[in-house]
Amino acid sequence: MDLQGKRLKGIKPAGFLIKMFVFMMVFTTVSITATANTKLDTVYHVYLDDQYLGPISDQKITDQVVDEAVEAKQKDYKDYQLELGNELTYISEQVFRPNAADNTVVDKLKDQLTIKTEAIGLTLNNKVIAYVKDEAEAELALKKFKLLFVSEEELEQAESEENKVTSLPSLKSGESRIKDVHMEEEITFSSDLILPNEMLTADEAVKLFQKGTLEEKTHEVKQGDVLGTIADTYQLTSEQLIQLNEDLTEKSVLQIGQELNVLVTKPLLHVMVEKEAYQEDTVDYEKEFIENSEMPKGETKVTQTGKKGKTAFTYKVIEENGKQDSKEIMDENIIEKPINEMIEKGTKVIPSRGTGKFTWPASGGYVSSETGQRWGKLHKGIDIARPSNLTIKAADNGIVSSAGWNNGGYGNKIVIDHQNGYRTVYAHLDSISVSAGQKVEKGSSIGIMGATGDAHGVHLHFEMYQNGQLKNPLSYF
């Protein structure tokens, strides 16, 4: 008997060969004795891997089966170099009576053989996660996965050795640039024989890297959450969500803060992108208040206008699969310091009650018309004209009862209640600088003399009342 190995995929174990050797020695002894009288024929014992299929009369029979199987498969996988994926072994034997079972062996071989092709496996943590046709396709798959998160130009710049040693131009505010792009995981390549349908293109491998695996996590119910919206968030059906939570039914009322089990996809690979970002931010100024005892309480005056400053920040930003993972300030530079706003704040308390002693409501001037009958009707106050300036003053401390336009001929008019039974009226003003409810101090400016309403020339019409009774102002000065 001869041991012949056509289409050998490996060497048989030593134990197996020893058994076959003993068998051949015994049979050869018998054969030598018989050859003198009888013609011997050759049969071939066929083994597929470690499985014995039976004897055949000619090796060409099984060789043809293999060739036909490869050829048939090749029609569907024209781009791959296909071959037998098993170890097919022949052991020849000289026999008196051939007992070949060609058809039986052929049927078994057709049923059990596999057609495979060489591929490159991308290996992560000693486990192959994808097969592609060659190393070039493997490199392309990894590159395309990176390009999901950066542009091709950015990737080329990040991987350029020149870029790492050359001084780069300064960034403008709001700009960033990529410093490094790399896979977080270490991927190695390995060669293997696989079934053709296990082969992936680079694009298919990228989708696999993205989709990854499912892992369980918890979702905390928030305001407005219902089963359907939660399921949609995690790309689950309501039925799948219920299956993940034993106490949940379609009629369950969710409570805010309740935790539900959900499934989320975890990518197989992670692209880490390091960016340098530059940002100029404004710095608010502070307001400094300085008390002024001469200024009425409640009044303020800006003595120095505030100005915002500017600070520049350089950040190191790390992104994982397109999402920011960390942001760290690498450098901080003050471009312009802020200038504080200086504000004087009045502390002088103005009494709302009058003193009963009145001051002249204008800056000098003369009385052009007194209280009394004039042109056939009562002139209720005095008219003051030709002052040294047009400022109108409060005759005594008090609270402004009204300030605004009067349709009764007074034009712009102010009424002050002195909180002691006295009330004064100021009419025909060009403008008013107080408002109703405001406390005014004796002698403080309340407006500008004018000629609004029924007035003949610029002057102040001034009236005075005590407990509602009209008084002659000239009696008080």
Mind listing the pLDDT tens digit for each residue in 138-183?
999 999 999 999 999 999 988 886 556 567 788 999 999 999 999 9
Q: What is the pLDDT of residues 70-93, one digit of tens each?
A: 999 999 999 899 999 999 999 999
For 37, the 3-state DSSP assignment is coil
Q: What number is the average pLDDT over the span 306-314?
A: 97
H helices of 219-350, in order, are 227-233, 238-244
| Averaged pLDDT score across all residues of the chain | 89
Using DSSP's 3-state secondary structure scheme, residue 183 falls into: strand
**Residue-wise pLDDT tens digits, 256-288:** 999 999 998 889 999 999 999 999 999 999 999
pLDDT of residue 383: 97
- For 417-454, the pLDDT digits (tens) are 999 999 999 999 999 999 999 999 999 999 999 999 99
Q: What is the pLDDT of residue 60?
A: 95
Mean pLDDT of 232-241: 91
What are the start-end ranges of the E strands in 125-207? 127-132, 176-183, 188-194
Helix axes 102-112, 59-74, angle to 10 degrees: 30
Q: What are phi and psi of 157, to 5 degrees?
A: -65, -40
Using the predicted structure, report yes or no on whether residue 2 has a pLDDT greater than 60: no
Write down how long the chain is.
477
CA nearest neighbour of 307 among 348, 270, 339, 260? 339
Which is more confidently placed, 24 or 452? 452
From the number of C-beta atoms within 10 Å of its C-beta (0-12, 13-18, 19+), residue 171 rates as middle
More confident residue, 97 or 47: 47
Q: Rounded to the nearest 5 degrees, what angle is found at the Cα of 59, between the Cα atoms of 58 and 64?
A: 110
Give the pLDDT band (50/70/90) at residue 98. confident
Q: How far apart are CA 448 and CA 257, in angstroms?
A: 65
The 3-state DSSP composition of the chain as helix, strand, coil percent (nearest 5) reads 20, 45, 35
Query: Max CA-CA distance within the chain?
Result: 173
* Phi, psi for 442 (deg, rounded to 5): -55, 125
Q: Is the pLDDT of residue 30 over 80?
A: no
Task: For the chain, list the domains and their CATH numbers.
Answer: 3-113 (no CATH), 120-159+181-210 (no CATH), 216-266 (3.10.350.10), 271-348 (2.20.230.10), 362-476 (2.70.70.10)
Q: Read out DSSP for 110-122?
A: HHH--EEEEEEEE
Give 129-136 contacts, CB < 8 A, sequence gap 24+.
Answer: 129/208, 129/209, 129/268, 130/200, 130/205, 130/208, 130/209, 131/192, 131/194, 131/198, 131/199, 131/200, 132/199, 132/200, 132/201, 132/202, 132/205, 133/79, 133/80, 133/199, 135/189
The alpha carbons of the chain give a radius of gyration, in whole angstroms, of: 52
Q: Which of 278, 279, 320, 280 is nearest to 180 (CA)?
A: 320
pLDDT of residue 313: 96
Percent of the chain with pLDDT over 70: 91
